[in-house]
A and B are shown apart, each in its own frame.
Chain A
Amino acid sequence: MTRLRPFRLPGIFWLAWLAWLAGPAVAQHGGASEQSVRAAMVFNFMKFAEWPTTESRLKLCVASGDRQQIESLQTLAGKQVRGLALAVVPFHPRETDCHVLYVDSRQRWEEVLASRPAVSRTLTIGAYPGFAWDGGMIEIVRQEDNTRFDVNLAEVRRTGLRLYPQLLRLARQVFE
């Protein structure tokens, strides 16, 4: 968050009005939906990963049956991540060039594993408990009413991917 700078009174007034208007986007019923927070986190994770310079776009593959989650992730389509345009597609065993993979149940993760080669440079993000245990790279965790994430650094290193240290500092737990 930005540090509070010493504005003169009128400035603060304008800012307050802005914040109040921006409120609806964030403070519905005292919070936001899990799905939209997760989608935004996935977007942020992508910003903190190093992508090969030979690519012109990034592909996010979604293995989920939660319609709301799919919709939230689809809003990321077209956005720019470090100058690369983002495409969002549903995961299918034939998709072999996903840069990022989102999965939200162990069953789907097992299907993904069955169709992927043993080592592939895909950033895997999962939202079910035990994803890091199952070999996933970033596990989004719900801790009471808040959302946190754990990073399985051993898995990241094994595939040759690089995550920026700023991301690791914010992680709840990092496993080597």
Chain B
Amino acid sequence: MTTGMRLAATGAALLFCVRPAFAEDDLTHLGLEALMGIKVFAASKYEQRQADAPSAVTVVTSEDIRAYGWRNLGDLLRAQRGMYMSYDRIYGYLGIRGILVSGDLNSRILVTVDGHRISDVVYEQAFILNDFILDTDLIERVEIIRGPGSTLHGATPLFGVINVVSRDPRRSPNHEVALEAGSGRWRAGRYTFTKLFENNASLMLSASGIDTDGQSLQFNVPPSWVGTTRGTDYEQVGRLFAKYENGDFKLLLAHSKRDKGIPTGATGALFDNRDNRYTDTQTALNLSYLWRLGNDTNLEGRLYTGAYDFHGNLLYDDTGPIVANKDLAWGRWQGTEWKLTRHGRAHTWIAGLEYQNNSRQDQQNYDIGGASYLDDRRKSDRFGLYFQDEWRHSPDAALTLGLRYDLDHMDKRHLSPRLAWVFRPGADKTLKLLASRAFRTPNVAEVWYAYGTRFAANPGLKSEHIEQYEAAFEHDLSPRTRYTVNPFLLNLHERISQVTLPSGSVQYQNTGSAKVVGVEFEVEHRFGAQGRLRASYSRQRGEDGNDQRLTDSPNDILTLNVSHPLVHERLRLGVEFQHVGPRLTFAGGTTEAARLLNLNFSGRLWRRGPEWSAGVHNVLDHAYSTPDTPDPVLTSRDRIEQDGRQWRATLTVPF
């Protein structure tokens, strides 16, 4: 080395000494191989914003909705592990983890659309079939968070929270028209308009409708409900949807009205009469804004209002002449929710408060031109305050503690705690341990609905409580294959269900406890370029306080979903198989196992071109029933037969 080089080397060395002061840890001068050779010390782990610290979140996208031809939210949910459905030809009821309580109008799960709670304030009902307020085509994805969600959401979500995210306007063409045809003279149509503005604001408007004759059905409940009924299983739905987004401001407006023919003679209504009908009308308006206070803190504010009308028209002739009976309910509510989220280096804090005013919770029942049986008017309000801290106490693990205080609409206080621990022993493995408690306040219908000799009120009804303990283990065998094992134990206390009194009336009562122990397995695999496979098996045992098996609780559920392109994007095949084990009915009988095979072909004619799909539900025409709720008049009927083979074809044209 020459003197010059030595001087240069010294200079460079001096520069090295000085360097750290300018750019600490700047390793960009190193190549990839060198970087990969450096030992990294345990710095605080990258932030994980899993605000709900859920047991296991399942995200289902619109891609799957198209691939499998799911016709409504119910079809989507029953394809998920551990979930099953009952249908009484009026409403669909969802069972999760072995619990589907007779008479429950899905009041134990929380269904939200873009964060807005859709359950009404009379029945706290979650509509999940064609009565769901959002058209299935407008669903972007569904986030399913299993387990009690009271810590962040208050009353209602004993078994899970299902958040439906509406379509992203950026993925929506300017105009879109969709047409559908199917079995039972199913006709449906939709028009959706989307506009994106220069400043990235967006407006989406949609109107859609469904008209179907339904099925011809056979019943055999002597003396009067025997034979075939036609034209009474009809359904007509009209939906409107509007969404405006501008930066961090969002406005959502949705409205739906559904008329459903009642073919089953429910509550003793006249057999084979088209005038037996239930009409459900829902309206939702939600405004939200997100304030970004600095790099680490967000404040979400939400104002919302909702309206629900129920109109039941049933004909009876038990006193001789035909009498039309009106069963009506009105719910009106307004509320606000505020949520503050702060991310620190080792902690993420969430604090929130929620207030809802139920300005109208009315129920009425009268015969046209005759007696009035029920005229109950209520008002109430509820308040909730919650706090959660996710503490990343080590680079591989985080502990979450949550607590919520509620003053419910019956003026009772509740405290809902949650504890979760998430541990990552390796980059590909995650272990979650979760313990939580949730409650559900009986709704106005369970407490106050009374009608002649058919239904009795129960002002002394108490809230239900549930404790749940679970562990979830997720392992990525490769970026293409992942499996999950999820054992759980849940204890439901003061379970509210319908009981038939000695007088023959039906009443809601706290019928003791229920316990479910089970385990869920799931495997997801990607194969080829665009193939997807998901298989799940869940096994559970549900017992009541007397160690008797729970009704409507299958011992096992198997689901298999495979979707694969056959001709690039032009043709895709989605195959779905579901097995739901036999279920006990309230009368002590057992329904047979349900085995469904569904096939769907879908595709796109050209890129950004029209999309089509044609599918068959229940290809094997398997005959199966689901348990029914006890009826005050048709007391011997304990199950309702479900649909056989059904086909559906859709065409969606963007322009």
Contact = CB atoms under 8 A, between A and B. Distances in A.
Contacts of A110: 59
Contacts of A67: 295-296, 345
Contact of A33 (B14, B25, B200): B25
Given A67-B345, A72-B25, A26 B38 contact: yes
A138 to B, nearest CB: 11
A39 B43 CA distance: 14
Interface of A: 1, 7-8, 10-11, 14, 17-18, 21-22, 24-26, 28-37, 39-41, 43-44, 64-69, 72, 75-76, 79, 93-94, 104-105, 107-108, 110, 114-118, 127-130, 132-133, 139, 141-143, 145-148, 150, 152, 154, 167, 170, 173, 175
Contacts of B37: 146
B567 interface: no
A175 B528 CA distance: 11
Of A94, A116, A142, the most chain B CB neighbours within 10 A belong to: A142
8 contacts: A26-B27, A34-B46, A44-B35, A65-B49, A115-B168, A129-B476, A146-B40, A167-B32
A155 B480 CA distance: 13
Contacts of B26: 25, 36, 40, 75
Contact of A64 (B13, B16, B47): B47
Contacts of A107: 48-51
B43 A34 contact: yes
Interface string B12-54: 1110110110011111101111111111110110111111000
B46 A64 contact: yes
Contacts of A115: 168, 170
A122 B424 CA distance: 29
A21 B14 CA distance: 8
Contact of A148 (B23, B36, B51): B36
B28 A79 contact: yes
Interface string B48-92: 111100000001000000000000000000000000000000000
B54 to A, nearest CB: 11
A64 B44 CA distance: 14
Given A33-B43, A104-B47, A133 B28 contact: no
Given A17-B13, A39-B27, A133 B40 contact: no
Contact of B35 (A17, A35, A37, A64): A37
A117 B170 CA distance: 7
A43 to B, nearest CB: 5
B38 A32 contact: yes
Contacts of A34: 40-41, 43, 46
B627 to A, nearest CB: 37
B40 A33 contact: yes
A146 B36 contact: yes
Given A44-B35, A170-B32, A142 B40 contact: yes
Give the 5 A-B CB pairs with smallest separation, nearest first.
A36-B25, A31-B39, A40-B27, A65-B47, A132-B479
Given A11-B1, A65-B296, A127 B476 contact: no
A80 B25 CA distance: 18
Given A18-B12, A117-B171, A147-B36, A37 B46 contact: no
B47 A41 contact: no
B35 A94 contact: no
A124 to B, nearest CB: 14
B254 to A, nearest CB: 19
A34 B46 CA distance: 9
